[in-house]
């Protein structure tokens, strides 16, 4: 049974507003890797665990058809708000994809692979990928806010660790930049987040940083298991710790935030 924490409608709305979109450079790196061994034009891309579609639509200009797959109908409804003629969103699981054998050029998973049954996912990817096709799994390290020259990365990590009791076993993969995922195929590419090769940076406010924290699955489970009062208290504590790290009491100040992405991708052998 899939973990359905992301089906909460409030969490979905926060996800839409506060989660980042992968940088163009990362998408181009993935697409160019696929092009090395697959005939043009590229036909089918499947984004597994697509959520509200932040990553899915980015492939629309590179493939004839793009499919976003997720177990959450609430997330899929949010994804459908952004319409592209060749992007279709489907309810489905990573371990049982509704696609024919050897029919997909690229399978992607953004910030989602750590939720899957990896043994079954591996077998399913191998079934649907064309020879020479690619599996690309990527995500990002903690949001890194800055204010007046102060880097708040360590504070964000501390806040995340404070609710680690609600992380799943699979989160170890996310925290490792997916380097602990199984070796799907011998040919692979690995880019760690520490390289800073794929980054997105934007203006932010304290409220938007707290909004991002409210999208954590661990926060969603805290709210579910401990109630509204406990979750509100947690966010107030987060606000105070961030203000302390910022060295100010002023809440309505302009900040910056940065996400450094990691990427791990493999190519299915051609023969």
Q: Which residues contact 237 (CB under 8 A, 6 or more apart)?
A: none
DSSP class per residue in 77-145: HHHTTS--TTEEEEE-BTTB-SS-TT-EEEEEEES-GGGS-HHHHHHHHHHHEEEEEEEEEEEE---EE
**Per-residue CA distances from 188 to 102, 138, 194 (Å):** 19, 13, 18
Tokens of 232: 């509100």
Tokens of 60: 């629309």
Strand partners, 135: 107, 266
In the chain, the number of structural domains is 1
- CA 236 to chain centroid, in Å, comes to 26
Residues of the chain short of pLDDT 70, as ranges, are: 1-9
Q: Strand, helix or coil at 254?
A: coil
Tokens of 58: 């980015």
- pTM score of the predicted model: 0.94
**Per-residue CA distances from 32 to 37, 56, 122, 125 (Å):** 10, 17, 22, 20
Report the CATH number that the domain containing residue 91 is assigned in CATH.
3.40.50.150
> Backbone phi, then psi, for 254, in 5-degree steps?
-85, 130
- Structural domain boundaries enclosing 175: 5-267
- CA 91 to CA 105: how far, in whole Å? 20
Strand partners, 66: 45, 87
Place of tokens 């973990």: 3
Q: What integer pLDDT is reported at residue 1 of this predicted model? A: 43
Helix then strand then coil, % of the chain, to nearest 5: 40, 25, 35
Q: Which residues contact 244 (CB under 8 A, 6 or more apart)?
A: none
Please, is 35 exposed, middle or buried when counting C-beta atoms within 10 Å of its C-beta (0-12, 13-18, 19+)?
A: middle
- CA 18 to CA 10: how far, in whole Å? 12
Q: What integer pLDDT is reported at residue 3 of this predicted model? A: 54
């Amino acid at each position: 049974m899939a973990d359905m924490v992301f089906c909460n409608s409030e969490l979905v709305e926060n996800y839409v507003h506060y989660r980042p979109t992968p940088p163009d450079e990362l998408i181009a790196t993935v697409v160019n890797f696929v092009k090395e061994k697959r005939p043009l034009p590229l036909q089918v891309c499947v984004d597994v665990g697509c959520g509200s579609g932040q990553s899915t639509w980015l492939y629309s200009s590179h493939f004839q058809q793009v499919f976003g797959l997720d177990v959450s109908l609430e997330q899929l409804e949010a994804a459908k708000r952004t319409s592209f003629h060749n992007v279709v969103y489907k309810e489905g699981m990573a371990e049982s994809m509704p696609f024919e054998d050897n029919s997909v050029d690229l399978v992607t998973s953004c910030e989602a692979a750590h939720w899957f049954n990896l043994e079954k996912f591996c077998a399913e990817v191998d079934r649907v990928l064309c020879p020479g096709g690619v599996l690309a799994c990527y995500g990002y390290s903690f949001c890194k806010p800055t204010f007046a020259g102060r880097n708040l990365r360590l504070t964000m990590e501390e806040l995340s660790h404070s609710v680690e009791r609600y992380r799943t076993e699979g989160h170890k993969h996310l925290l490792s930049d997916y380097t602990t995922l199984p070796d799907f195929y011998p040919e692979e590419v690995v880019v760690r987040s520490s390289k800073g090769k794929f980054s997105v940076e934007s203006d932010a406010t304290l409220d938007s940083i707290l909004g991002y924290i409210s999208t954590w699955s661990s926060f969603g489970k805290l709210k579910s298991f401990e109630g509204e009062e406990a979750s509100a208290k947690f966010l107030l504590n987060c606000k105070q710790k961030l203000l302390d790290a910022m060295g100010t009491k002023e809440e309505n100040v302009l900040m910056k935030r940065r996400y450094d992405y990691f990427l791990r991708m493999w190519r299915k052998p051609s023969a």
